């Protein structure tokens, strides 16, 4: 039987994780978001049955305004308010805006059990565990594990969730952050998430791509210049540091900064002051620096092209983003998110991907990472002739590429005395239908597991 879809909305990551773990016990599909913007994306895409939301301290939005929008735009979703700061006036207003209940947040087993019971009642009150979706029978269903939305980043990968928690931990500190990851892994999204999760949200978030900028131009872009500072400087120019004052400055591909500019950047990090090019007046700024690189800075330091003292100043906290090939469980999720967005932008009625298309997408190595997947889905949306995207609708470089190598299936092969189908069913039951854990137990890749489930017509959602 299909399961209820529950969305937990809270600006505190530990709470979304705690409630997700609690509600999964009731065989619900649980999605979570740490901002109203992420919540709206999931409400648009996932046909949510019940929303559990805080309405206080939500970044950049009035929580009661969010309740009103749910009532107007997502009227079929039941809403339970679960907040730490309660008041009679707020409870009355929340009820008038359609909330089924208004509960006080507390990390207490009795309180959590009350919330859990209220969710069960809400599911019954809306008359079904899940609304029947109008979808082509070839299209792929939702994944069984909970989905984490975090300031525009959507993932159900364990390593990404650890990164979300780390971001929440460091957000309000002064610590500079160095993000390392391959091109296209979403380094700027992570930088924006740090900014939005911090007390600097609502302040400037300024970016600078340091790639292929000549020294004079890069110095001017960072620190600004005075009129007449160099040939062509006909007016005063305010640099990125000044524009980012009280906010965050994101330096993308910081390894490309030349040594002379590195020395001036180091001085700014040490003193929080600088002078414009051609100027002599010290300018003080309050700016947090987040830097990113697709090359390990340790190797650039060893090459002598990056200052070691600057490296240590930037690398107070390091975040290593996994490539998409190491988070293949996110490929169907991201593909659906991009499809929804691009279908709306292009005025198309698209409902999803066939199993064959998902298999191809999950089996591709994605050297260009999330950015490449985004471009592939955009192309498929633009060229799609039916409501479901099939494998032939994908670019040939994707469909004809050699699939990712599967992990050796030693554990599975050790059990070949039993019928393969029964082995798969037993392993799925052992892990409650969790694809990742089942694949790890059998020592095969998730791609291989999906192929075997399809071969034996096993639906993991119904193996309990």
DSSP-derived secondary structure for 371-406: HHHHHHHHHHHHH--SSEE-GGGS-HHHHTSPPPPP
The DSSP code for 131 is P
Cα–Cα distance, 443 to 97 (Å, whole number)? 50
pLDDT of residue 318: 95
Structure tokens that stand for 119 in this block: 């969710």
**Cα–Cα distance for residue pair 178/181, rounded to 1 Å:** 10
Can you read off the two tokens belonging to residue 101? Answer: 């209940």
Q: What is the pLDDT of residue 398?
A: 93
Please state, in angstroms and rounded to a whole number, the distance separating the CA atoms of residues 213 and 238: 17
pTM confidence score: 0.60
Predicted confidence pLDDT, tens digits, the chain (464 residues): 456 789 999 888 888 888 888 888 877 788 888 888 888 888 876 778 899 999 887 776 777 888 888 877 777 788 999 888 878 778 878 877 878 888 888 888 888 888 888 888 777 655 433 333 333 333 333 333 344 467 778 787 888 888 988 998 999 888 999 999 999 999 999 999 999 888 898 889 999 999 867 777 888 889 988 887 777 777 888 899 999 999 999 999 999 998 989 999 999 999 999 999 888 899 999 999 999 999 889 889 998 999 999 999 999 999 999 999 989 888 988 898 888 888 888 888 887 888 888 889 988 999 999 999 999 999 999 998 888 899 999 999 999 887 764 333 334 444 343 456 777 777 777 676 777 777 777 777 776 777 778 777 787 765 55
385, with CB counted inside 10 A (0-12, 13-18, 19+), is exposed
Half-sphere exposure of 434 (CA within 13 A, CB side): 15
Note the pLDDT of residue 28.
Answer: 79
Q: At what angle do helices 331-345 and 36-46 cross, to 10 degrees?
A: 90
* Residue 155 bridge partners (DSSP): 148
- Angle (CA) 284 289 291, round 5°: 145
So what's the pLDDT on residue 76? 72
Residue appearing with tokens 């009035």 = 62
The dihedral sign for the CA sequence 432, 433, 437, 441: positive
Which residue pairs, CB below 8 angstroms and at least 24 apart, start in 93-98? Answer: 93/64, 94/55, 94/64, 94/67, 97/64, 97/67, 97/68, 97/71, 98/67, 98/70, 98/71
Residue 24 exposure: Cα atoms within 13 Å on the Cβ side: 19
- Alpha-carbon distances, residue 253 vs 140, 179, 250, 439 (angstroms): 37, 10, 10, 36
Tokens 């180091």 found at: 266
Neighbouring-strand partners of residue 103: 82
CA dist list (Å): 388 to 43, 235, 353, 377, 408: 21, 55, 5, 12, 33
DSSP state of 329: G
CA 309, 311, 314 angle in degrees (round to 5)?
110
Q: How far apart are CA 411 and CA 399, in angstroms?
A: 30
| Predicted local confidence at residue 440, as pLDDT | 73
Alpha helices in 175-227 (DSSP H): 187-197, 215-223
Q: Which of 418, 419, 376 is nearest to 397 (CA)?
A: 376
């Amino acid at each position: 039987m299909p399961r209820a879809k529950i969305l937990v909305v809270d600006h505190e990551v530990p709470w979304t994780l705690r409630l997700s773990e609690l509600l999964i016990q009731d065989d619900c599909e649980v999605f979570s978001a740490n901002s109203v913007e992420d919540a709206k994306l999931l409400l648009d895409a996932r046909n949510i049955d019940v929303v559990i939301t805080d309405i206080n301290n939500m970044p950049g939005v009035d929580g009661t305004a969010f309740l009103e929008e749910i009532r107007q735009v997502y009227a079929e979703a039941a809403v339970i308010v679960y907040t730490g700061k309660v008041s009679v006036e707020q409870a009355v207003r929340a009820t008038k805006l359609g909330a089924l209940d208004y509960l006080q947040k507390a990390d207490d087993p009795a309180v959590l059990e009350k919330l859990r019971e209220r969710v069960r009642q809400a599911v019954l009150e809306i008359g079904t565990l899940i609304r029947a979706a109008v979808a082509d029978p070839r299209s792929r269903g939702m994944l069984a594990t909970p989905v984490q939305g975090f300031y525009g980043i959507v993932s159900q990968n364990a390593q990404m969730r650890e990164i979300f928690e780390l971001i929440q931990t460091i957000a309000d500190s002064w610590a500079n952050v160095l993000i390392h990851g391959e091109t296209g892994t979403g380094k700027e999204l992570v930088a924006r998430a740090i900014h939005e999760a911090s007390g600097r949200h609502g302040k400037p978030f300024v970016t600078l791509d340091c790639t292929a900028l000549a020294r004079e131009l890069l110095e001017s872009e960072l620190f600004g210049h005075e009129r007449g500072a160099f040939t062509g400087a006909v007016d005063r120019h305010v640099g990125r540091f000044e524009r980012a004052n009280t906010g965050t400055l994101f330096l993308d591909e910081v390894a490309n900064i030349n040594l002379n500019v590195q020395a001036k950047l180091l001085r700014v990090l040490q003193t929080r002051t600088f002078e414009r090019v051609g100027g002599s007046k010290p300018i003080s700024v309050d700016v947090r620096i987040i830097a990113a690189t697709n090359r390990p800075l340790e190797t650039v330091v060893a090459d002598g092209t990056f200052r070691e003292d600057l490296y240590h100043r930037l690398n107070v906290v390091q975040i290593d983003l996994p490539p998409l090939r190491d988070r293949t469980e996110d490929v169907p999720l991201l593909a659906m998110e991009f499809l929804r967005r691009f279908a709306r932008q292009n005025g198309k009625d698209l409902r999803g991907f066939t199993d064959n298309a998902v298999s191809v997408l999950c089996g591709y190595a994605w050297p260009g990472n999330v950015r490449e997947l985004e471009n592939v889905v955009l192309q498929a949306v633009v060229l799609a002739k039916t409501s479901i995207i099939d494998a032939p609708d994908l670019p040939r470089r994707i469909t004809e590429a050699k699939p990712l190598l599967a992990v050796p299936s030693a554990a599975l092969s050790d059990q070949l005395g039993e019928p393969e189908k029964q082995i798969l069913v037993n392993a799925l039951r052992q892990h409650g239908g969790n694809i990742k854990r089942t694949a790890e137990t059998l020592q095969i890749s998730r791609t291989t597991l999906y192929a075997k489930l399809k071969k034996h017509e096993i639906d993991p959602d119904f193996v309990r």
